[in-house]
Amino acid sequence: SEAKAQSVPAYVIFHDRTLAEIAERMPANLDQLAEVPGVGATKLERYGDAVLEVMRRV
C-alpha cells in the first residue's frame, strides 16, 4: 500500500473518516473520488489512481 511504501500509517495520508467515506461511497472514477470530503486536489493527483485500483479489487 502507499502508506507502507512511505512508512506511515494510512491515516496520515487520509484521515480515518475520509477512508470510511471512500469505503461507503465506493468511487469508480476520479471525479467521484474528488467529491469525497477530505480528498483535495493534491491527494487526488498523488493517490487517486491507487485508491481507485483498491476500489476495483473489492
- The better pLDDT of the pair 36, 11 is held by 36
pTM of the model: 0.82
> What structural domains does the chain harbor?
2-57 (1.10.150.80)
Helices (H), 1-58: 2-5, 10-13, 16-25, 30-34, 41-57
| Residue 25 cell numbers, joined | 461511497
Residues whose CB falls within 8 Å of the CB of residue 37, separated by 6 or more in sequence, listed in order: 17, 18, 21
What own/partner pairs with CB < 8 Å and gap ≥ 24 does 34-42 have?
38/14, 39/14
Q: How many CB atoms within 10 Å of residue 27?
A: 19
pLDDT, tens only, 12-55? 789 999 999 999 999 999 999 999 999 999 999 999 999 999 99
